[in-house]
Structure 1
Amino acid sequence: MACLGFCGEWFLSTCSSKLIAIHTKEPREPFVFDCSRAEKRLKIAKDVNSSDASEDTGSDTVLAFAVSSSGKLMAITDDTKRLILFQCEPSWHCISIRWVIRRCTSLVFSPAEDELLVADKSGDVYSFSVVEPEKDGELKMGHLSMLLAVTISADDQYIITADRDEKIRVSHRRSPYNIQSYCLGHHQFVSTLEIPKGHPHWLLSGSGDGTVKLWEFESGRKLQSWDLGQLEDKLCSDTAKGNNTAVFRICSSPGGRDVAVLCDGLMNVYIFTLEQTNDEKLRLHSKLHLFHRPMDIGFDMKGQLWVLLDSSDVPLQIHTYRKNSWEGLYAGGGGWRKDGSLESRENAGGEGVECDTENDNLRRVTDILRTQWSTTDNFTSVTNHFEHLYKVSFDNVSVYLQKKQQRIEEHQLKRTKGQKTKCTKKSKKKPDEVLTQPST
C-alpha cells in the first residue's frame, strides 16, 4: 500500500517496505528507510529448556504512519510489528525501534508531542512515550471490535476512536474509561477520522457506506452527511459490480477551509469547503477527475493538494486553488503539463502548458519518487483496501417467514381434511329409530 504525507517541508511517501522523504524546497539528499533491512525481533522458543531463537518474520510492509503537529517527528509501523520513531529536523535519523503487541492500523501524536497513541487490529489503544523512546507501550483503552482510526482533539482532552462496528467513541484522554459521547449513524465500518484545522470542536468521518459525516463530537450530534455514491455519474468497474464506495482518506487544508475526500477505487477526488455561517456547513466545491487511479491525497503547508497516483510515469499530481477553481500540475509524457480536471483539459484543447521555473523543485520531487519506485520490486497497487472489512449478512428472516407460512397452510389443510372426513362418517351412519310411547 502506498501513502503520502508531509513532515514540514518534507514530502513523505510509503511504498511497500520503504519510507521515502524528499525535501520540497531545497535540493537535499532524500531520506530512505527500508523496513526489510531494519532490526529484527527475536522470537524465543516456547520450550524453556530450549535455547533456540528465531527471527520473527513478517512482510515488512508499512501499515500506517503519523507526523507530529510541529513536523519534527514521525512514526511508522509495519507488518512485522515494529514501531519506528524518527526525527525529521534538523536532519533525519531513527530515534528508536520498539515492538507492538499486534499489527497496528492507525497512529497519532499528542498535541504536546510527548506521547504516541497506537491503535491495533484487536481493538486496543497503546500509549508509547516520545520522551522515553525506549520505553514499552502501556495499554490505554480498548474496543470490542477492530480499530481503524484514532485521533486526539486539539485541546488534548479527548481520544476519538473508530471501529469496524460503525461506532465512533469520544473518551476522556486522562481517564479513557470515562466516555464523553458516541457519534452514531454510519451503517458500515468507520475507516477514517479528521478534525479539520480551525474547527477544533468538529469531526469529519468517512465510512464503508460511502458517506462523509460532520459531527460536533463532544455532544455526539450529527451536523451534516454527504452520500458520495450519489455524486458518481459513472462508477468504476469494481463499484459497478456491486461493491460499496468506501471512503479511504479525508484531509483538511492548513487553513481549514478546504476538505479533500478520496474514495477507494474511484477516479475522482472530492473537495468540500467548510463554513460556520450557514446551515450547510460542508459544501461540495469541486470534483477533480484523474486519469490514473489515485492511491492517497494530502495537503502541504501552502494548501496545495498532492495526489499520489498509480502510475510509474506520472506518480504525482499537485492541485492549487486559483480564481475559485483547482488547477492541476503533473509531470509526464516527457514534460510538465497543466491539467486540473477533465473540464480544464477540454477548455485548453488538450494542450499542455509548461510550468514556470519555480516548479523545478516539483520536478525534482517527482523524479526522485519515480526512481525510488522503480527500485522497489515489491510495489503493488491496492485497488480495494477494505474488502475484508465488509460484514457478510444473511437474511434468514425471509426464510423463516416462508417456512412459517408453509406450516400454517399445511396445518389449515390438515384441519380441512379432518373436518371433511368427520362429515362423511356421520352421513354413512343409519338414522336412529324413533321411540314411540305405548298408547294407554
Structure 2
Amino acid sequence: MDAGGGDGGGDGGRGRGPGPGPALAVHGALMAASGGSRLLVARYREPGDDGLFVYDCISAEKTTLENKGQDGKPTDKGSDDILAFAFSPSGNYFALTDDSKRLILFCTQPSWERVSVRSVSRRCTSLVITAAEDKILVADKSGDVYSYSIIEPQANGKLELGHLSLLLDVALSPDDRYIITADRDEKIRVSLAKAPHNIVSFCLGHKEFVSKILVIPNYPDLLLSASGDSTLRLWEYKSGEEVYCCHLSSICEPETTKTDQKYPVSRITYCCQGGYVAILCVCISTVYIFHLDAIARQLVHRQQISLKQKIWDIAFEETGNLWILEEDSEAPLQLYRPCDGEWKPVFDDKGLQKMSKYLQDNWTVFQGFVGAESHYSSLYKASFDNMAAYLQKKEERLQQQKKKKQDLHGSNGQTKKLKTEESSSL
C-alpha cells in the first residue's frame, strides 16, 4: 500500500499514547487506528483504493526478544497490545511500541514496510519522532527516556534522561532543541536535547498526574498540558512560567450530575489552521473545542460535541476536520467539519465512508474494549488525613487508659471491702 504524501495534518499523530485502548491518528492522506495488538492504516484522502494495511504485533519476531530484554534480564511475556505510536513529521516513518516490550519501525514510502523490531527495557507510555527524523524518543513506566536511531534501525537504545516517577508523555520542540517530559508526580520537565542532564526548567503547578503535553507547532514557545487535576494549562515552557489555566469543571459540569467528578484528559489534538485545540476527557462522551488566542495567551471555549456512545479517540486534519473514533460497531467513525466557526457532522464524505467500512469489517480489533474502564483512575494517588487518624488513635488510647484506671479502682475498692468484712467476723 502506498503511504501517500502530505506535510501532516493537525498534530500529525505525533506522540500518540493510546495505552491499553483504541487510538486514532491522521497524517496527510493517511489514517491509522489501533486496537489490541493490531494496527490498521489506509489512505483515505487519495483517489482509488490501495487497500487496508494491517499489522498484528503477535506476528513480530519473538525468538530473540522473548527471553532477554535490552538490559540482559529475562522479560515477562506481554499481551502484544499496542501501547503508543507516532508518525514522523513528514509521514515517511511510523513507530509503535507494544506490551511485549518491542519497538517496531515502519517506512511508509513508497509502500508500507516494516524496517526493524527492537526490544525496550520497560513497557512504554509514549513516543515521538524527531523533526530531523533520525531518532525515536521513547518514554517508559520506570521514568526513563531512551532514544533509538532511525538511521541505524537495528541499534540498541541510548538512555537520555530519567525521572523518579512513571512518565506519561514526552514531546519535542519543533526545532528538536528541547525534550519535554510529564510524569505522575505532577511535574513537567524541560531538558536540552543535546545534553538531557541539563534541565532548562520545570513547569510546576498541576496538583495531579500530568496526562498529556503538546508543544504548539506554530507557536513553538508555548506548551499545553492536561492533568488529572481537571485543568488545562498553558506555559512558556523555557522559563517554566504558567500563563493560563482553564478549570475544566467550569465547562464540563453541565454534562454530569456528579459534583466531585474529575476530568482527566486522555487526548489533546491541535489544528494550526485557525489555532484550534480539541480535548477528550475519559469520563465524558464529549469533545471540547477551544480557540488558542496566542497573543492574549489564553484558551477560549468554542464548542462541545456530545455523542451517545463512548469516545475512544479524536484527531484533527490540517484542514480543521475533526475525526472521532467511538464505541459503535455500526458507526465507528464520525467526521465534523468547520463551517462558519462551528463544527458540524458530515455524512457524505468518501473518506469517511471508506474508513468506516474498513473499521466495521475489522471490528474484532476493538471488540474487547467495548465497555472497558479507563486506566487513568489508577494514576490517582491514595490520600488520607494523617492528623485525623492520629487524633482518633490517641482518643482510643486515652479511653482505654481511663477504663483500666476505673477497673483498677473498682477492684481495689472491692478488695478493701472484703478485708473489712473479714476483720469484723474475727
Q: TM-score range by the shorter chain?
A: 0.7 to 0.9
Q: Which stretch has the larger CA shift, 242-251 or 269-278? A: 242-251
Shift of 1:361: 2.7
Distance in 1, matches of 2:386 and 2:76, equals 43
Does the residue aligned with 1:387 lie in a helix, a strand or coil? Answer: helix
Q: CA deviation at 1:207?
A: 0.6
Give the 5 Å matches for 1:86-97. 86-97=106-117
Q: CA deviation at 1:287?
A: 1.2
Task: Describe the SS at the equivalent of 2:213.
Answer: strand
Aligned with residue 128 of structure 1, among 148, 154, 162: 148
User: 1:61: how far off?
Assistant: 0.5
**Which residue is 2:213 aligned to?**
193
Q: Which amino acid aligns with 2:144?
A: D
- 2:12 corresponds in structure 1 to none
How many angstroms apart in 1 are the aligned matches of 2:123 and 2:68?
21
Q: Which residue number in structure 1 is paired with residue 374 of structure 2?
A: 384
Query: Structure 1 residue 294 and structure 2 residue 293: aligned?
Result: no
Is the counterpart of residue 285 in structure 1 residue 310 in structure 2?
A: no
Aligned length: 377
Conservation of the 8 A alpha-carbon contact between 2:273 and 2:319 = no
Deviation at 1:240, TM superposition (A): 3.4
Shift of 1:397: 1.3
Report the TM-score when normalising by structure 2: 0.83
Structure 1 CA distance, aligned partners of 2:267 and 2:89? Answer: 18
The answer for unaligned runs of 5 or more in structure 2 is 1-20, 402-426
Identify the range of structure 1 (399-408 vs 87-96) with the bigger mean alpha-carbon deviation.
399-408
Determine the C-alpha separation between the residues in 2 that align with 1:312 and 1:246.
26
Corresponding residue of 1:37: 59
User: Offset of 1:127 from its aligned partner?
Assistant: 0.5
The RMSD of aligned alpha carbons is 2.6
Answering whether residue 77 of structure 2 is matched by residue 57 of structure 1, we say yes
Q: What pairs up with 1:23-422 in 2 under 5 angstroms?
A: 23-26=43-46, 27-42=49-64, 43-44=66-67, 57-235=77-255, 240=258, 244-255=262-273, 257-278=275-296, 281-329=298-346, 336=347, 355=348, 359-374=349-364, 378-380=368-370, 382-401=372-391
Give the fraction of aligned pairs with identical amino acids, expressed as a percent.
43
Q: Partner residue of 1:343? A: none
Give the conservation status (yes or no) of the 8 Å contact 2:184–2:379.
yes
2:209 partner amino acid: F
For residues 353-402 of structure 1, the C-alpha deviation after alignment (integer angstroms, 9 at most, x for no partner) is: xx3xxx22321111111111246664545431312111011211123245
Structure 1, gaps ≥5 residues long: 47-53, 330-335, 337-354, 412-440
1:38 shift after superposition: 1.7
The structural deviation recorded for 1:276 is: 2.5
Q: 1:131 to 1:198 in 2, by over 3 A?
A: same
Change in CA separation of 1:375 and 1:249 when aligned onto 2, cut-off 3 Å:
closer
**8 Å CA contact retained: 1:196, 1:202:** yes
Structure 2 residue matching 1:165: 3-state secondary structure = coil
On the 8 A contact 1:312/1:374 being kept in 2, the answer is no
Q: Distance in 2 between matches of 1:57 and 1:216?
A: 42
What SS does the aligned partner of 2:351 have? Answer: helix
Cα displacement string for residues 292-318 of structure 1 (whole angstroms, at most 9, x for unaligned residues) = 111111112322111110111110111
Asked if the contact 2:212–2:267 (Cα under 8 Å) also holds between the matched residues in 1, the reply is: yes
Q: 1: distance between equivalents of 2:385 and 2:56?
A: 47
Residue deviations 1:53-104 (CA, integer Å, cap 9, x gap): x996321110000111111111010001110001112211111111101100
Select the structure with the greater relative contact order (CA < 8 A; seq sep ≥ 6). 2
2:363 aligns to what SS in structure 1?
A: helix
How many Å apart are 1:174 and its aligned residue? 0.7
- 3-state SS, counterpart of residue 400 of structure 1: helix
1:224 shift after superposition: 0.7
Please give the alpha-carbon distance, in whole angstroms, between the structure 2 residues aligned to 1:151 and 1:246. Answer: 19
Compute the TM-score of the two structures, normalised by the length of structure 1. Answer: 0.80
Using the alignment, how far apart are the partners of 2:392 and 2:383 within structure 1? 18
Cα pair 1:264 1:383 within 8 Å, conserved:
no
CA contact (8 A) 2:334 2:352 kept: no
Could you tell me how far apart the structure 2 residues matched to 1:181 and 1:101 are?
27
Cα deviation, 1:246-275, whole Å, max 9, x if unaligned, reads: 111111013361000110120111111111
- Supply the AA of the counterpart residue of 2:221: H
CA contact (8 A) 2:327 2:370 kept: no
Partner of 1:434: none
Which segments of structure 1 move beyond 6 Å, counting only runs of 4 or more? 405-411
Contact 2:174 2:220 in 1 (8 A): yes
> Residues of 1 paired with 2:367 and 2:313: CA distance?
20
Question: Which one-letter code corresponds to 1:38 in the other structure?
Answer: A
Residue of structure 1 in register with 2:39 after alignment: 19
The verdict on how the C-alpha distance between 1:325 and 1:110 changes in structure 2, with shifts beyond 3 A counting, is same
Distance 2:388 2:245 in 1: 31
